A and B are shown apart, each in its own frame.
Chain A
Amino acid sequence: MNAFTAFFKKELSEAAHTHKLTVMGLVFLLFGMMNPLTAKVLPDILAGVMPDGITITLATPTALDSWAQFFKNVPQMGLIVMVLLYGGMLANELSRGTLTQLLTRGLPRKTVVLAKFSAASLVWTAAYALCFFVTYAYTVYFWPEGSTTGLPLAAFSLWVFGLMLLSTLLLGGVLFKNSYGCLLLTGGLVALLSLLNILPAMQAVNPMVLPSNGMALLSGTFPASGFVTPLLVTGAIIMSMLSGTIFLFNRKAL
């Protein structure tokens, strides 16, 4: 068993041990169930709270409404939960000094970063897939005739954006040594990207397209080709975040 596999397994068992797996799994399962249900029940609830004599006409919910909930809840709530839970993945170990012994015994620092990124990505992928397929199953159950072209691309884009946040957390871990610094860096990056999104020229390349335009793609108001450049840019950002983390980590005194 090489160092990467060993450290990767250690990361996963730690995720299970610290309840990260449980919480991620349960929360994303919950979102997965609530998306279609909210879409289905919302008109009834609205009709119920309206005072008598006032009639509102609401369109019957469709499969698109269910996915609208998905592409609203996962970027807002789901990503925040993931970032909060993984905020300290490198920072806490550095500040507690639990890595020192392993590193002085010859564990390459690159391995630490890559194994941590892989393990966190695996948990994010599993939780996200769970949420996606539960929403998918309920949506198909409620609205068998609903058409959702572009769904795979929209879902894939959101997943890639999640990976970018994880790589940002790692860079934050090396830079700040505490989880609040990581959260600040990640929040700052998202805020910066959202601000840049105001400029029309930036909208063609901005990674913010990935989490925010999924619904526009499904409803046909945003072209699938518009995702290509942001996906490539995000891929490049992930690569540079990871190499930046390894570069800084290699030069860092413990």
Chain B
Amino acid sequence: MDKLTPYLPFLIPILIIELALMLTALVHVLRHPHYRFGSKPLWIIVVVVFQIIGPIVYFAFGRGEE
């Protein structure tokens, strides 16, 4: 782990971005309970478990019409 310490100032912003993506998608999943397919629990799992890919897949395919 010691070897990673010098890179922490760079790793932390990356973590923040991943979290921001996850939260944007998660809030959207919770507030818009209509999906093109899948259910709310499914999309919560996808968005939270699969970093980066999950939110992209949700916004590209899962998001329902408004």
Contact = CB atoms under 8 A, between A and B. Distances in A.
Interface of A: 18-20, 22-23, 26-27, 29-30, 33-34, 37, 40-41, 44, 48, 81, 84-85, 87, 96, 138
A20 B58 CA distance: 11
Contact of A26 (B11, B21, B60): B21
Contact of B13 (A33, A41, A44, A48): A33
Contacts, number: 51
Nearest to B1: A48
8 contacts: A18-B63, A26-B17, A26-B20, A30-B17, A33-B13, A37-B11, A81-B56, A84-B60
Interface in B23-66: 24-25, 28, 52, 55-57, 59-61, 63, 65
Interface of B: 3-4, 7, 10-11, 13-14, 17-18, 20-21, 24-25, 28, 52, 55-57, 59-61, 63, 65
What 9 pairs across the A-B complex have the smallest Cβ distances?
A84-B60, A30-B17, A26-B21, A44-B3, A37-B10, A23-B59, A26-B17, A33-B14, A85-B60
A27 B56 contact: yes
Nearest to B27: A19
A29 B16 CA distance: 11
A3 to B, nearest CB: 24
Interface centre among B25, B52, B65 (most CB of A within 10 A): B52
A87 B59 CA distance: 11
Contacts of A85: 56, 59-60
B contacts with A: majority SS: helix
A16 B9 CA distance: 29
Contact of B52 (A30, A37, A96): A30
Most chain A CB inside 10 Å of its own CB: which residue of B17, B20, B56, B60: B60
Contacts of A33: 10, 13-14, 17
B59 A34 contact: no
Nearest to A88: B60
B7 A19 contact: no
Contacts of A18: 59, 63
Contacts of A29: 17
Nearest to A80: B56
B59 A20 contact: yes
B65 A96 contact: yes
Residue from B10, B25, B57, B65 whose CB has the most chain A CB atoms within 10 Å: B10
A87 B60 contact: yes
B7 A37 contact: yes
Given A30-B17, A85-B56, 17 more contacts: A18-B59, A18-B63, A19-B59, A23-B21, A23-B24, A26-B21, A26-B24, A29-B17, A30-B21, A30-B52, A33-B10, A34-B14, A37-B14, A40-B7, A41-B4, A44-B3, A84-B61
Contacts of B65: 96
B21 to A, nearest CB: 5
